[in-house]
Structures are given as structure tokens and as C-alpha cells.
Structure 1
Amino acid sequence: MRGRAGACRYRAGVLAEPAPALSDLALGLIVVVLAVRLGRSPVAHRYWRTSFWWAGAAALAGFVHHGVVKHSERWTGPSWAVISAMVVIAVSYLLAATVAEVLGPRHQRTFWALRSIGIAAYVVLAVTGHAGVNALLACESLTMISIIALWARAARRRHPMAGAVIVALVADGAAAATKAIDPAITQRVALDPTSLYHLAQISGMVLLYAAVSTPRRPDPEPRALAG
């Protein structure tokens, strides 16, 4: 009995998935620091800051998920669902910030129209029996496409932020692609695809922070960009 108790205490004191947990912790801490700094920026829209806060919180929750919750098969699913919901909120604020920057602050209807694309796609999957966390995250890719499309339009109209934001979004997309890398390849650097994805996300978030916090030269009224 003592041996079993000791083994349980030892297991509880060890991270279930060390590399994914620690890489998520690094990502979360960095993003939270960036969120704090955005709060001090005189040029960054408040929606950017809120998006960073939710993204950082999701990564820190990911640290708990990979490090602790993964010890329990019962709570792994609910934990991942909560983290996914946090990611959805972060993406929603990312879209809100994009609409405000590109089209202007009075385009709530445009925001909800674009936001409904991902929601509608998920409803369709749910009705057809394909609901789930992975389906939800897949539908969020449609929202990201909307965000990129808005910034592409802004780039054609020479929005001062467009180039830097697009670079950041491309870097974030490239980070997501690392999850598809063969684990046999990532093991060469003592990482798994999930951990590599977390670390790669850091560069995208830093680039996005730089894009939205840098002082901008005078530009046309946002409403002119919507014409």
C-alpha cells in the first residue's frame, strides 16, 4: 500500500506531457506579457489587447491541461473543450480588432456577418452528427480566412498596418502547419509536433504585437477604406 501511495504521489508530481506543457507555459507567459504591454500602447485598439489576453490565458490553461489534467482520462475532454472555447473567444476579438482597424468602429453588422460564417459551419457539422472540439476549431479557420481577406483588402488600399499584420498572420499559419510534421522528424530536436507548434506560435504573436503596437503614420479615415 505504501508503495502504491508513493507511486501515486510521484505521478501527481510529474507533468503528464512535459514538452507540450512547458512549451504552452512559455507561450502563455510571453503572450500575457505582450498583452500587458499592449495595455500601455497609445495606438493599439483595445480589441487587440483582449485577444492577446484570451490567447495567453488559453496557452496557460494548456499548460495545466498537458501537465496535470492529462493524468485523468475523465477530465481530459472537458478540459480541452474549455481551452477550445477560450481560443474561439481570442479569435473573435482578433476579428473584431480587424474590422475596427480596416473598416472602422461602426461596422458591428459586418463583424457579426463574418463571425457567423464559422458558427454556421459548426452548426451544420453538429446537425450532421460531426460535432466536437476538433470540428469547432476547424470551423474557426473560416474566421481566420475572413481576417486575412480583410487585411488583404486593406493592403490594396495601402493601410499602414496591413503588411506587418499579414506577415504575422502568415507566421501564425506556418506555426499551425508544424502540427502536421512527422513526429520522427521533430524527435531529432527532442520535441513533438504539438510542442513545436506552441514554440512556433511565439514568433507569430510577437510579430502581431509589433504590428499593432507600432506608431502609425497618418492614414485615411477607416470608413474610406470600406468604400
Structure 2
Amino acid sequence: MAAAGSSARRHGESGRVHHLIQHATDAHRVDELLTDPGFLVHADPATLTPALDHAIDPNARLAAATYRASADRHATRTTRQRRDILAIDAARYGVPRLSESISAVPPPPWWRPRWATGSQVNTALRATLTGHTAAVTAVACTTLDGRPIAVTGGVGVGGDSTVRIWDLTTGTPIGNPLTAHRGGVTAVACTTLDGRPIAVTGGVGGRVRIWDLSGRGRSTAWICRGAARRLQWARER
């Protein structure tokens, strides 16, 4: 894997970069890929992001943290733009050597970051979930098919009144947004019902809805007076 960066370009063009990352994961050699600036720049974000959790070496873990800092932007940027974003984030983490090595990945950049504030970065960040078009006002977590998920609700100017389900391992959405609330979602709680995972959501329109997360379908709705701003599930004794 000495030429991982060039391998990423070849495999990326042929749609096989996923296999390169998977082989490195199985062989416990992900560190070699993450410490290769060319690979960070050219690898497909959708296949690279899940492998970041397998970083062991301190330098590889720092590279993984750098990649996560703007992971929600990498998939929608060109290779040149992704390189520049990664170089800035490395500077934000106070790692000038990594920043310079990323900037050196061809083609030659028009500029290079010299320094950047690190006040808004933290190695504890695992993922940034993007999809809501307005404020996120409610979040709850549970498991679906054995995988940890988050259920989020949106509200605000722009009409985002959706409920969204996220795979916390990959940081990607599961299925399409759930729509039924009018005026926004203000509360979310998760539990199981008859052995099936469900989400209970409350909205500005005075309705509480129950969603079957397995089938991503609404099962029923309750009508409240005013907005439902807080929900909590209680076990029947």
C-alpha cells in the first residue's frame, strides 16, 4: 500500500475503491491509507468515512479527525475543493505538516492555508448529519435492525416539518423523510411496541404521531391542545 494515493485514483475511477478500503480494514492497515494525503483527497467519501473508526496510530486518528471536521461537505465537492478543505481543517487542528502535505497533492493549488482558528474543532466529533433545511428541534436515539440510529425533527421558516432517520454508524439517512406534521416537529421519543421500534413525534399543529421505524410508516395520530413540546415514554407496570 505504499502508493495508496495513486491506488485511490485508479480504483476510484473504476469503482473499486470500496474494496481497497475493505481489504485495508480486514488487514488492520487502515492507518496506512489515512496517513496518505493523496488517498484522503481522492477516496470516495461514502466508502472512506466508515473506515475512519478503525484508525489506531495517533497520526492516523488525527487524520481521521481532520476528515470528519467537514465530512458533510466532501461528497459534494470536486477533488480540488476537497483537498483545500482538508488542508484548512488540518490547519485548524494545528497540524501544519499534514496541512502542507495535503496541499501538495496535485494539481498545484492557487493558495495554501498558513494558519486557521481551531476554536470550533474537536476530535470527539464523529459525524455531521445534513438534510434538514431549517432548525432541528428534537432528537432521540434507538436501534433499528441492530444498528444505532437517531430520529430528528425539524421546524422553522422554509417549511421543514420532516422526521428523519439516520444511521449513526455511517452518518447517512435511512429511507426518505417522514412527512405529516404541519408547522414543524417539536418533540421526539423512541421506544418499542410489540417488539418493533417506533418513534413518537409531537408537532406545532397539536398532533402526536406514532411511526413504525421498521416500515417507515405512520401508524396513528393523537390530537392535543396546542403544541406538543416534550414527550417521554413510560413503561406500563
TM over 0.5: no
Structure with higher RCO (Cα < 8 A, 6+ apart): 1
Structure with higher helix content: 1
Structure possessing the higher radius of gyration over alpha carbons: 2
Q: What is the TM-score of this pair, normalised by structure 2? A: 0.26
Structure with higher strand content: 2
Q: What is the TM-score of this pair, normalised by structure 1? A: 0.27
